[in-house]
Structure 1
Amino acid sequence: MLRLLSAIGLGAAAGGLIGWIATGDPRYSMFWGIALTIGLLAGTASVFTTSRRAVAAATDPTGELALARVERIRRTGMTINDQPQCVLVLTVAPRHRAAYTTVHREIVDLVALPRLQPGCVVVVRRPVESKANVVLVMDPPDDWERLREAERLRAGADRTIPLAATAQAWPSEPETLLGVPKATSNPLHAVVFALVLVIAAAATLVPAYGTIGRSITAIAAGDPAAAGVVEGDRHDEIVDALVREVGGPQFTSVGFYDGYALATAPSTPGALTIDDYQYRYDRTEHQGPELIQPDDPAAELFDVTAVDFTQVRELIAAAQHESGIADPESVIVRFQRAGVADESGSRPVQAMVLLDSAYEDASVTFDATTGAVVSRS
């Protein structure tokens, strides 16, 4: 279960990181950090749980006990709770097979180090008969303690443990951090882990699929800016989403920017108090009261469903032609009623296109209905 949770956490973290890079959405930024923490904690817990189970299996009384002599010992530099991990070269003398030499790693209690110096005789347990791996038994049963002491006093041909030079080398299987044999890995487990990780990443990215798809399409078409809001082709879709958030089509302004759109509209349908609304990261948000309330809100309102927002890209191109700014660094298009009435006495809806480049900027205002240029500056 912990391994599965780790796969879900790491997959969600990978998806969150990709989503953050692709969209810039701060929710992904926060999410992937939390998911990564959960994945790492679960993975670490899984490793130690597996190690504890392996230790329990390795110290099972049914494992064969044997005498062994320490030939060499060195520290690896790793410590756990100030206890060093050591590498020991041992000559092991099992009762029912030929003696052999092997290399063993284990976390050793500092108090036990004097009993593990070269030449010392120790008792070990062989968890698996078919493997060379051993586990140190620093507190053996009384009969084995007597055998260990007797072996320590023997010399020459009387030794139970032969000289290392005469024993066959038998490498130990890979060991865990705690010095016990690693459990045999099941390839199916790795496949399931990878599959769960990929599914978690894919599920995390579901809200960003639209943004990522638009970015890929725009880059492939050689027009990365088309993936944004103002220079994209989703203006009607964005306005429709804002209408649903506002609860009606009456707005006082709609503005399109590089990565988002802003609108001002009644706090509730029919109200004469104006609030701010935002479209960003493919979702809308009601941001609260507009900082500067209009003197006559009713006169500022217009029906956004009567405006053709598909002309935004054409208006941008026309503004570039009128201003001579062919490659602006920033583009903003804002729709609102004209500040003064025209000859008919009405205040038509206008589209103001703001262009900004490294050396100059320009503002071109169009009639939102006819597309005619009203003013430029």
Structure 2
Amino acid sequence: MLRLIFSAAVGALVGGAVAAVVGPPGAGIWVLAVALPIGILSVVFLRLGASGLASTSVSQEDLTRARAEDRLGVARIDAVRQTGTQINDQPVCEIDVTVQPRRGAAYATTLRSVVPLIELGALRPDATRPVAILIEGGPEFGFVDGQVSPQEIDGLVVPPPGSVPKISWPKAQRVVNGARRGPLLGIGPRGRVLRGILFVVIALAVAAAVVAPYGRAVVMTAQAAQEGRIGVDLRRPDELAVAVRALEDEIGHDRVSTVLITSDFIRVEAPLTPGRTETDVWMYRGGVVDHEGPAPSQPDLAAEQFSWKDIALSTVWALMEKASAESGIPVGDASAVVSRGTDSDIDSETFGASVENPEMFISLRTEYKSVSFRVNADGSGDVVAQ
């Protein structure tokens, strides 16, 4: 189970890292924050399990079962060695013992266990202590000092060291209800390939689940890499088209009143219902559309709305390059704003309102200079400096 958890944590870490790179700001951070400690803890517990750590304590249920099945005995401490490892500031020790059961042959064994400092004195060599043997034939046992009467172990004599066979504790197994229980998945060479495939599948599945909300961004990032570009640029035709489709799907119609196009995000003010003036803000960034709520400034007229089809989306990048050539300023982080032009007819009922054909304003800047160009949103006409 721990290895399955570790595989899932690895998948979450990979997915979270991908989301953090291709998604909007903050994407994948919470996944990384959760998956990293889980992954570390699972590795720690895996290492502890692989080290063969055992517990020398016995539950009341285990003691009752051992007494009923006549699996009590005595054990002599032959040697105690501290391994140099500590868990919660308590030493991990190797304990050599010789066990004499009430029923069955004596045996020697070595167990690794975390020993509280206050209990080290009870593990002095040649000390004899009562034990409950947890499974028929051993070697698993636990100390039961004070829980067994002298009559229950009366007459038991532990053979001298080296005079009995040594039995090793089974690795990666524990005794539950008088029976050995191994890990959910085996650890031996048999089935290793299938286990490896399972772990990889789990990691990939979790990574895919984490990245799924940012699928558009992943695809566009891969396509940009194929073109030799690092990262997505939403001003370019293909990326812009994907973003516009995502916005249109989320908004539910194709009417907008203001569009801001940058390399990293597209911000749109659009009516909740075409033909009405109640307007909200939507933002496309990192493959995700966020609905940010009411626009700071609400339009006065429904006529300020226009369609995505009124914007020559496929020419935005080319228009920016043209503006760059005319101004001598690199495209860099140039942006474009699209909205309807202002009615300048003083005799019109809509004088001063944004009801004319949509216009695109392209802004280019450096640390020392900024310029702006205007062009018809449908791409027609000249690019005019403002």
Q: Compute the TM-score of the two structures, normalised by the length of structure 2.
A: 0.71
Instruction: Map 1:22-171 onto structure 2 (within 5 A).
Output: 22-24=22-24, 26=26, 28-34=28-34, 61=66, 62=69, 64-75=71-82, 78=86, 85-93=92-100, 96-97=104-105, 99-100=107-108, 102-108=109-115, 113-127=120-134, 133-138=140-145, 139-140=147-148, 142-147=150-155, 151=157, 160-164=158-162, 171=168
Task: Write the distance in 2 (CA, Å) between the matches of 1:341 and 1:370.
Answer: 22
Point out the structure with the larger helix share: 1
1:154 is matched with which residue? none
Task: Write the distance in 1 (CA, Å) between the matches of 2:327 and 2:207.
Answer: 46
Whether contact under 8 Å (1:362, 1:376) holds in the other structure is: yes
Q: CA deviation at 1:254?
A: 1.2
Residues 1:334 and 2:337 are matched in the alignment? yes
1:244-295 Cα shifts (integer Å, max 9, x gaps): 444443322211112221112334322234432222333433323322345x
Structure 2 counterpart of 1:183, one-letter code: G
- 1:65–1:114 CA distance, 2 compared to 1 (3 A): same
Secondary structure of the residue aligned to 1:334 is: strand
Task: Write the distance in 2 (CA, Å) between the matches of 1:73 and 1:208.
Answer: 56
- 1:211–1:79 CA distance, 2 compared to 1 (3 A): closer
Secondary structure of the residue aligned to 1:230 is: coil
Structure 1 counterpart of 2:225, one-letter code: I
1:228 is matched with which residue? 233
Secondary structure of the residue aligned to 1:352 is: strand
Secondary structure of the residue aligned to 1:313 is: helix
Task: Write the distance in 1 (CA, Å) between the matches of 2:72 and 2:253.
Answer: 82
Q: CA deviation at 1:170?
A: 5.4
Task: Write the distance in 2 (CA, Å) between the matches of 1:115 and 1:298.
Answer: 87
How many residues are paired up?
Answer: 356
Secondary structure of the residue aligned to 2:30 is: helix
Q: CA deviation at 1:349?
A: 2.1
Structure 1 counterpart of 2:329, one-letter code: I
- 1:55–1:231 CA distance, 2 compared to 1 (3 A): farther
1:281 is matched with which residue? 286
Secondary structure of the residue aligned to 1:199 is: helix
Task: Write the distance in 2 (CA, Å) between the matches of 1:5 and 1:309.
Answer: 46
Whether contact under 8 Å (1:14, 1:201) holds in the other structure is: yes
Residues 1:325 and 2:340 are matched in the alignment? no
- 1:147–1:10 CA distance, 2 compared to 1 (3 A): farther
2:218 is matched with which residue? 212
Whether contact under 8 Å (1:66, 1:123) holds in the other structure is: yes
Residues 1:314 and 2:323 are matched in the alignment? no
Q: CA deviation at 1:332?
A: 0.9
1:300-352 Cα shifts (integer Å, max 9, x gaps): 333332332111121122122112223x431212212234659xx98332222
Q: CA deviation at 1:104?
A: 1.6
Structure 1 counterpart of 2:130, one-letter code: V
Structure 2 counterpart of 1:258, one-letter code: S
Task: Write the distance in 1 (CA, Å) between the matches of 2:252 and 2:200.
Answer: 45
- 1:236–1:129 CA distance, 2 compared to 1 (3 A): same
2:351 is matched with which residue? none
Instruction: Map 1:340-355 onto structure 2 (within 5 A).
Output: 341=344, 347-355=356-364
Task: Write the distance in 1 (CA, Å) between the matches of 2:357 and 2:2.
Answer: 64
Task: Write the distance in 2 (CA, Å) between the matches of 1:208 and 1:277.
Answer: 17
Q: CA deviation at 1:218?
A: 0.9
Whether contact under 8 Å (1:67, 1:161) holds in the other structure is: no
1:68-101 Cα shifts (integer Å, max 9, x gaps): 3212325556456x8765432223456755754x
Identity level (%):
24
Q: Compute the TM-score of the two structures, normalised by the length of structure 1.
A: 0.73
Secondary structure of the residue aligned to 1:316 is: helix
Q: CA deviation at 1:25?
A: 5.2
Structure 2 counterpart of 1:257, one-letter code: T
Whether contact under 8 Å (1:250, 1:301) holds in the other structure is: yes
Structure 1 counterpart of 2:328, one-letter code: G
Task: Write the distance in 2 (CA, Å) between the matches of 1:244 and 1:265.
Answer: 13
Task: Write the distance in 1 (CA, Å) between the matches of 2:18 and 2:297.
Answer: 38
Whether contact under 8 Å (1:10, 1:197) holds in the other structure is: yes
Whether contact under 8 Å (2:371, 2:385) holds in the other structure is: yes
2:182 is matched with which residue? 183
Residues 1:368 and 2:377 are matched in the alignment? yes
Structure 2 alignment gaps of length 5 or more: 349-354
Moved more, 89-98 or 111-120: 89-98
